Amino acid sequence: MNLLHKTAKCQVKRQFLVLSVCFLFGQTDAFGQSITPATDGTGTVVTPQGNRIDISGGKLSGDGANLFHSFQQFGLNENQIANFISNPNIQNILGRIVGGDVSRINGLIKISGGNSNLFLMNPAGIIFGASAQLNVPASFTVVTANSIDFGNNSFSAIGYNNYPALTGNPSSFTFSAITPASIVNSGNLAVKQGQNLTLLGGTVINTGQLSAPGGQINIIPVPGESLVRISQPGHLLSLEVSSKPFYSQTENANGESEKSAATLPEILTGGGDKVNATGVAVSSDGTVKLTNSAPKNSPSNNLAENNSGAVPISPQPTKISQPPTNTG
């Protein structure tokens, strides 16, 4: 089932907030991370060149079409560039972040030397800051999944991988966590004509801009313990989720929202009191806040705000015991 599928002809600047959990990032400095290769034998090489960080090495699949990287941390400050080195034979570059920290990306991600698709996987969560941008030649996919699957074989987010067996294109994403981590975008993420831009996480918040002219933008909140399948009929990406999520929001061809579950106020209040919470914002310390607060007598206040509208976000979120009832 397509939760959000839009053929994008213009920029998307809309706030998508699907709250099934509360999270807290838990670090004082939202940005200031570095890109550090994992010492797990994958062979990723990180070479700083001024404000540019070249990423080379890695492991190839048996058919030479897929290049795999493994990072302990992956973060960018403003004005920094992460440059993935490719070549014309590489169809997909896939990077995993294994350190357990949320990735905070506030710079430019690019690919040089080839026309590869780029996949980033961090089960702890990913934040794109206000200065985050892309310069990639093909599609860009960000997931908080626990593995990216190639048929019966998987590129796991942790541990050993049989890289020669990971041939062809990815066929699915496995979310084995009970509550998958979040993706927050406050930046300007754009791919080139006819390419796809995909964000898959337990909660997906977009307060920035997403652009895929002539391609697809897929913003998909994924429930825990789910499998997201990929098919490419007519070279267009379509995604199916094996189990129905608690909340979803779609757009029709005219860009009008079609709500298939509880609205944001209903989610925050358990379907009861009305709340004038119309948006979210990411502050400099990484806290995600609602633009307005829930009423103090809201039964869900402890989950969604602390008298200030703050929505904490973290890789180990508090689980809501039941989804709110959809009354509408």
- Tens digits of residue pLDDT in 28-48: 344 556 899 999 999 999 999
Do 304 and 155 share a structural domain? no
Q: What is the CATH number of the domain that holds 160?
A: 2.160.20.10
Residue 327 included in any domain? no
Position 178, amino acid: I
- Which of 225, 241, 258 is the endpoint of a domain? 258
Lowest model confidence (mean pLDDT) among 123-132, 203-212, 260-269: 260-269
Whether residue 171 lies inside any domain: the answer is yes
Last residue of a domain, one of 258, 287, 302: 258
Q: Which long-range contacts (CB under 8 A, 24 or more apart) does 218-222 make?
A: 218/2, 218/4, 218/5, 219/3, 219/4, 219/16, 220/3, 220/4, 221/3, 221/18, 221/20, 221/245, 221/247, 221/248, 222/145, 222/173, 222/175, 222/180
- Taking only the tens place, the pLDDT of each residue in 280-324 is 444 444 444 444 433 333 332 222 222 223 333 333 322 222 232
324 assigned to some structural domain? no
Residues 232 and 271 reside in one and the same domain: no
Neighbours of 257 (CB within 10 A): 11
Q: Is there a single domain that holds both residue 169 and residue 287? A: no
Q: Which of 63-67, 90-94, 212-216, 276-280 has the lowest mean pLDDT?
A: 276-280
Question: What is the reported pLDDT for 83?
Answer: 98
Q: How many angstroms separate the CA atoms of 119 and 94, rounded?
A: 5
Using the predicted structure, report yes or no on whether residue 207 has a pLDDT greater than 60.
yes
Which of 240, 258, 276 is the last residue in one of the domains? 258
Taking only the tens place, the pLDDT of each residue in 212-270 is: 998 888 888 888 888 888 876 544 444 556 654 433 333 333 443 333 322 333 333 33
Does 251 lie in the same domain as 289?
no
The whole-angstrom distance between residue 258's C-alpha and the CA centroid of its chain comes to 22
Q: Are residues 212 and 160 in the same domain?
A: yes
Q: Which domain holds residue 306?
A: 264-319
What is the number of structural domains in the chain? Answer: 2
The pLDDT value recorded for residue 319 is 27
| pLDDT at residue 280, as a whole number | 42
Cα–Cα dist 9/190, whole Å: 12
Residues 293 and 156 in one domain: no
Confidence at residue 314, expressed as pLDDT on a 0 to 100 scale: 32
Q: What is the pLDDT of residue 317?
A: 29
Q: Judge if 243 and 275 occupy the same domain.
A: no
- CB of 208 closer than 8 Å to CB of 188: yes
Q: Are residues 280 and 210 located together in one domain of the fold?
A: no
Distances (CA, A) of 164 to 60, 68, 150, 161: 7, 10, 11, 9
pLDDT at position 163: 97
211 and 301 co-located in one domain:
no
Coil, strand or helix: which one is 234?
helix
**Could you tell me if 161 and 305 lie in one domain?**
no
Instruction: Please indicate, yes or no, whether residues 16 and 144 belong to a single structural domain of this protein.
Output: yes
For residue 232, what pLDDT is reported? 62
Q: Give the span between the Cα atoms of 259 and 250, in whole angstroms.
A: 7
Q: What is the dihedral of CA 73, 96, 222, 233, to 10 degrees?
A: 150
Sequence letter at residue 230: I
Whether residues 50 and 128 share a domain: the answer is yes
Percent of the chain with pLDDT over 70: 60
Collect contacts of 162-165 with beta carbons under 8 A, ≥24 apart.
Answer: 163/42, 163/59, 163/60, 163/61, 163/62, 163/68, 164/60, 164/61, 164/62, 165/61, 165/62
